[in-house]
Structure 1
Amino acid sequence: MSLADILNDTKKNFDPKKDSINGSYDKLPEGTYLVTLDNTNHFVSKTSGFEQLSFKMTVVDGEHASQSEFVGVNLATEKKDGSPMPDFVVTKNMRLLVTIGALVGLTITDEMVMGNVTDVYEKLVGAFLPYKGKLLEMTIKESANKKDPDNPFRNYEFAEATESNNDPFKKQANDNIEISDDDMPF
């Protein structure tokens, strides 16, 4: 697509006086994707102070190649009001953290999760750094959100990238290319 094509498409679909320059974030639809772990970040909201460990997963093949999904892991054991976070929430997030770690080759140790939650996030960012670019299989399923039906909960499952899907650029053995003398340039 040329710059002129992009400009004309922008003029049709974008109101510079009303629309955000950054556009809207198109979520990946439910499904299973081959992804790379592109980044691990300690996210802190400037407005609320909410913290989490954020994994950027980028799809490497198929219709949604190059689209990213941000998977957040909140390890807080208390809510903002000081009341305890429900055990099932903390356990689910810990399972997500341990699973992503195991699938990229990182074992989450007791030492990594000791201390205040801010320090824990920082330690984990450093621990995941060497695993950037590792392949995983990510499955997204949505479930109803009673408080905000327009924004369903996104649930993630991760699995090991299998031998058959771990190199999306590799030709399959049965993808033979036949070249005749007529195809040669000389």
Structure 2
Amino acid sequence: MGLLDTLKQVKQEGFNAETDSIATNSKLAAGKYPVRFKSSQVSVDKASRTQLGIALEVVSGKDKGRMEFIYLSFDEGLPEFVLNKNGRTLLKLASMLDIEFTNKDLADEVATNEALSKGIGKQFEMDLTIAANKKNPDFPYRNYDFKQLISELDDSIDEDELDLPF
């Protein structure tokens, strides 16, 4: 896409240079999305906590190609409800990826990351909900649930509509 095409698209999206901010929120809105497990990695956050970073890519619909990043930490010192939520999220994600963790896989985040990498490319549905954060309103809570994608096949295909060579 060249300069002219890019500017046309920005204008079509409703951008008003006189009143709108340049920065936009690139996070996905609440909703249900068909996603692909793109990658995972181990990193250290600003508070020096080790975390698993999960990247999910939307595979269809108006948000196709957009990414959602989920960060899970299991470090001591986090509130129990956060650890429980992160644990449930990790187990549900592993279920969507057809991964059954062994004790060795859960020895640390690096081993867990290696086990998760076996699921790269698998697709499932992500249900994203967003809740207000009273302590920090600029950063609402992003809550996830996952389930298997259900393929909806159209059984109403008319054989006359098919262009078959025989």
Question: TM-score band, normalised by the shorter chain?
Answer: 0.7 to 0.9
Partner of 2:73: 74
Q: Distance in 1 between matches of 2:25 and 2:137?
A: 18
Q: 5+ residue gaps in structure 2?
A: none
User: For 2:60, what is the secondary structure of its paired residue?
Assistant: coil
Q: Do structure 1's residue 149 and structure 2's residue 142 form an aligned pair?
A: no
Q: Distance in 2 between matches of 1:129 and 1:13?
A: 43
Cα offset for 1:4?
Answer: 3.0
Q: Distance in 2 between matches of 1:74 and 1:27?
A: 20
Q: Distance in 2 between matches of 1:9 and 1:135?
A: 29
User: For 1:107, what is the secondary structure of its paired residue?
Assistant: coil
Question: What letter is aligned with 2:109?
Answer: Y
Q: Would the alpha carbon gap of residues 174 and 68 (structure 1) be closer, same or farther in structure 2, given more than 3 Å must change?
A: farther
Q: Figure out how many residues of one structure are paired with residues of the other and give that number.
A: 156
Match of 1:97 among 73, 90, 95: 90
Q: Would the alpha carbon gap of residues 61 and 8 (structure 1) be closer, same or farther in structure 2, given more than 3 Å must change?
A: closer
Quick one: percent identity of the two aligned structures?
28
What TM-score do you get using the length of structure 2 for normalisation?
A: 0.79
Deviations 1:22-45 (A, max 9, x none): x65511110111101000111223
What TM-score do you get using the length of structure 1 for normalisation?
A: 0.71
Partner of 1:61: 60
Q: Do structure 1's residue 108 and structure 2's residue 101 form an aligned pair?
A: yes
Once superposed, what is the RMSD of the aligned Cα atoms?
A: 2.8
Q: Distance in 1 between matches of 2:9 and 2:65?
A: 21
Q: Do structure 1's residue 174 and structure 2's residue 156 form an aligned pair?
A: yes
Q: Would the alpha carbon gap of residues 112 and 145 (structure 1) be closer, same or farther in structure 2, given more than 3 Å must change?
A: same
Cα offset for 1:150?
Answer: 2.5
Partner of 1:135: 123
Question: What letter is aligned with 1:73?
Answer: L
Q: 5+ residue gaps in structure 1?
A: 79-84, 115-119, 165-170, 181-186
